[in-house]
Structure 1
Amino acid sequence: MTAHEEAIERETDYRVPALQRGLTIVQMFNARERTLAMNDIAERLGVTVSSIYRIVHTLTEMGYLRKVARNTYELGPQVVADGFSYLASRDIVDIAMPHLNALRDRTSLSCHLTIREQTDSLYVYRAFAAQRLSVNIPIGTRLPCHCTAMGRMLLTGLGEDALAGLYQHARLDDYPPPAPKTLPELQQLIANDRERGWVLHRSDYSTAIACAIRNHLGQVVAAINLSGPEAVMDNGFSQDRYREELEKTADAIALELGAGAT
């Protein structure tokens, strides 16, 4: 690089060194290195301790670092608060959409995304497979949770008492089998679903497999399914393959929602 080029680069360099160092310091902490001494931080930056003292002090005052011992620090609560505020601001549909579209393309089966509103499973997105006999449930459709695969997975996020409270005034005996007829039947069904981690449900001419989606708090916030004609889905090999694809997709969506974050 010539002297002229170096001069141009200096003139167009808009970096703020102190801000760059501050962000670099925050990025030094990870699951393996939860605490760092001031000397370690300075050494990694290639500077003296005195030159980063004010930066570390500022980060500590703002809650991005927390002092745990003499000249030793860990990440502060503000890092977590900011991260989860961002995650919470992301719409579940925006996050799930590309994953469900990819799942549909890999399997040639329709995929749906639902959330729970009281005892209803509300369909908020679909990735429609363009083939004859595809299962196509419109966005905005509401179905009783206890009657569908996704609805049952949404209910697995509730404990036994919460489930009982939700259904204490609900009629369960107006629906055809295999829907449960009583609250104890429903509680046992959901307990089994929770332990299994997925639900397979057969209806007229079609079969659906569903999994739950969890957020950064481990809460069930949505459910997804793969659904198709009985002729395509109704054999053990296909069901195992589709379930594995569905579970991988559920894990990928949950990861973007912060599941497993520390």
Structure 2
Amino acid sequence: MATQSSKEIDYTVPALYRGLKILELFDSQHRILTTQDFADALEVTTSSIYRIVTTLTELNYLDKVAKNTYQLGPQVISHGFSYLASRDIVDIVMPHLSALRNLVSMSCHLSVREGQDAVYIYRSFASQRLSVNVPVGTRIACHSCAMGRILLTDLGEPELDALYQHVRLDGYPAPASRTLPELKQTINNDRITGWAIHRSDYATAIATGLKDYQGRIVAAINVSGPDALMNSDAHIKDIKVQLMATAQRISFELGNASKGAKN
């Protein structure tokens, strides 16, 4: 009696295979993709993957940002993909943020971008009574915090337009930008200087980006503290110098060989 060879037996599930392949298409250079991008990569028609994309969107593995245009959704993060992607960077950043905290005696945080939010994935907190300690897992709208603005500087204008096409900005308190043109101008200024400062609720945060081997900003770090401890331009300048130097050292470990942002 003839038996099938292992090559003749195919236990793969085509729809599942294609769904996972779609999720794998996203990376630091391809954060927003279209259904045509999916179809081209899989060498199929857009109609043949319509139900797969719809299912991934309904389950929040994809987030629709415009017509036939998608980014990774929150379920990808909540089910561990974010941890797997960020595990190495957290390991690299930890000792540097601890050293920075000891130098400036203020809390330091690390975040990555998910959609319009900056997600805090590590903190090195100051133990003194006057301190700002944001818990790991906290999400803050990118346009309303220093680290978030820095993360947005890695996006081009078309990406920003797609990201904020259906988002209202006027519901956030000052000094957050209240319109998309205002946000673009703020981000452009942050991109030029290489750092951002944000004051709110009697606290001040200064942030800058971490760059990978391609020069892309993959994360942001900050120094944050109460205004009582950030009350002079000279002190803020000293903190900024330490922050930028720390970011440059971390970026070097991430493979970036540039001289870093301006001081």
TM class by shorter chain equals 0.5 to 0.7
Equivalence for 2:216: 219
Aligned length: 174
Shift of the 112–252 alpha-carbon distance from structure 1 to 2, 3 Å rule, reads same
**Structure 2 unaligned residues grouped into runs of 5+:** 1-84, 259-263
Equivalence for 1:117: 114
Q: Percent same amino acid among aligned pairs?
A: 58
1:100 equivalenced with 2:101 (yes/no): no
Alignment of 1:53-92 (within 5 A): 91-92=88-89
TM-score, normalised to structure 2, is 0.64
1:134 equivalenced with 2:131 (yes/no): yes
Task: Measure the CA separation in 1 of the matches of 2:153 and 2:92.
Answer: 22
Task: Measure the CA separation in 2 of the matches of 1:90 and 1:124.
Answer: 10
Q: 1:231-260: CA deviations, max 9, x gaps?
A: 111201101100000000000110000001
Please identify which structure carries the higher helix content. Answer: 1
Regions of 4+ moved over 6 Å: none
Is contact 2:175–2:200 with CA below 8 Å preserved after alignment? no
Among candidates 143, 147, 151, match of residue 150 of structure 1: 147
Alignment of 1:36-55 (within 5 A): none
SS of alignment partner, residue 248 of structure 2: helix
- Structure label with greater radius of gyration: 1
Task: Measure the CA separation in 2 of the matches of 1:260 and 1:90.
Answer: 22
Alignment of 1:120-199 (within 5 A): 120-199=117-196
TM-score, normalised to structure 1, is 0.65
**Structure 1 unaligned residues grouped into runs of 5+:** 1-87
Q: 1:178-199: CA deviations, max 9, x gaps?
A: 1111111111110111011111
Task: Measure the CA separation in 1 of the matches of 2:115 and 2:201.
Answer: 26
1:202 equivalenced with 2:195 (yes/no): no
Shift of the 89–188 alpha-carbon distance from structure 1 to 2, 3 Å rule, reads closer
Aligned alpha-carbon RMSD (Å): 1.4
SS of alignment partner, residue 175 of structure 1: coil
